[in-house]
Chain A
Amino acid sequence: DIQMTQSPSSLSASIGDRVTITCRASQTISNCLNWYQQRPGKVPKLLIYAASSLQGGVPSRFSGSGSGTEFTLTISSLQPEDFATYFCQQSCRTWTFGQGTRVEVK
């Protein structure tokens, strides 16, 4: 099975900060990597697919990069609605999620 490890598990940031979250796969997954945002009490929402493609309707401050085993999600300028938990997901062999990264107010 492919394991996905996110870091950090949580972080504190302020409005306007640049935020970077890392996701590592236990084996190479090419670009089979998606990112989701889950706000408190809500269902997960797709942000990025295929490592770097922005889902329709998602603000351009979100971006993804990486290939192989290491991937990043970047929020260029954190907004109030971005305080949430972010999950990566591999889609090369069935599906596996990372454990999540909680972005909190500093």
Chain B
Amino acid sequence: EVQLLESGGGLVQPGGSLRLSCAASGFSFSNYAMSWVRQTPGKGLEWVSAIGDSGYNTYYADSVKGRFTISRDNSKNSLYLQMNGLRVEDTAVYYCVKEQWVTVAGTPTGLFDYWGQGAPVTVSS
């Protein structure tokens, strides 16, 4: 059974830092790209960052570029999100998400097939 368990969320002041972790189990972690997605009542779902299976390729939403860093440790089946320079608008529930890529009619297409339960992050003074 695939499980994704986030940790590290909490309350932090504007300008502060947090590191989210995601412990993965039930699948061959090193074979899959992973993403972080956040959700707020007002803005809905927002993709934050992604990392390739080897950890070499990383991608970021413009809203977090230069402040957040995604990484992974395949020996520990773990995904991380280092968040620096936090802003009030970063307040959200952060989900660790497993990516799956399939080929449909000859075209590769990506999807999010498993989600963690989410880690709440509150940025407030």
**Footprint of B on A, CB under 8 Å?**
1, 30-32, 34, 36, 43-44, 46, 49-50, 53, 55, 87, 89, 91, 94-100
Question: In the bound complex, do residue B116 and residue A49 qualify as a contact, i.e. CB atoms below 8 Å apart?
Answer: no
With beta carbons under 8 angstroms apart, the residue of B45, B62, B109 that contacts A91 is: B109
Q: Point out the residue from A34, A43, A87, A94 that lies within 8 Å of B111, measured CB to CB.
A: A34
Query: Complex formed: what's the CA distance from A31 to B107 in Å?
Result: 9
Q: Which residue of B lies closest to A43 (CB)?
A: B115
Selected A-B contacts with CB under 8 Å, 10 pairs: A30-B107, A31-B104, A34-B112, A36-B112, A50-B102, A50-B104, A89-B45, A94-B59, A97-B46, A100-B45
Q: Is the interface of B mostly helix, strand, loop or mixed?
A: strand
Known: A36-B112, A46-B113, A95-B35. 20 other contacts (CB 8 A): A31-B104, A31-B105, A31-B109, A32-B107, A34-B112, A46-B112, A49-B102, A50-B102, A50-B111, A55-B113, A91-B109, A94-B47, A94-B59, A95-B37, A95-B50, A95-B110, A96-B47, A97-B44, A97-B46, A97-B47
A98 to B118 alpha-carbon distance, docked (Å): 20
Tell me the nearest residue of chain B to A91, going by C-beta.
B110
Q: Are B45 and A97 in contact (CB under 8 A)?
A: yes
B44 touches A100 (CB 8 A): yes
Q: Interface residues of B toward A: which range?
A: 20 to 34
Residues of B92-122 contacting chain A, CB below 8 A: 95, 102, 104-105, 107, 109-113, 115-118
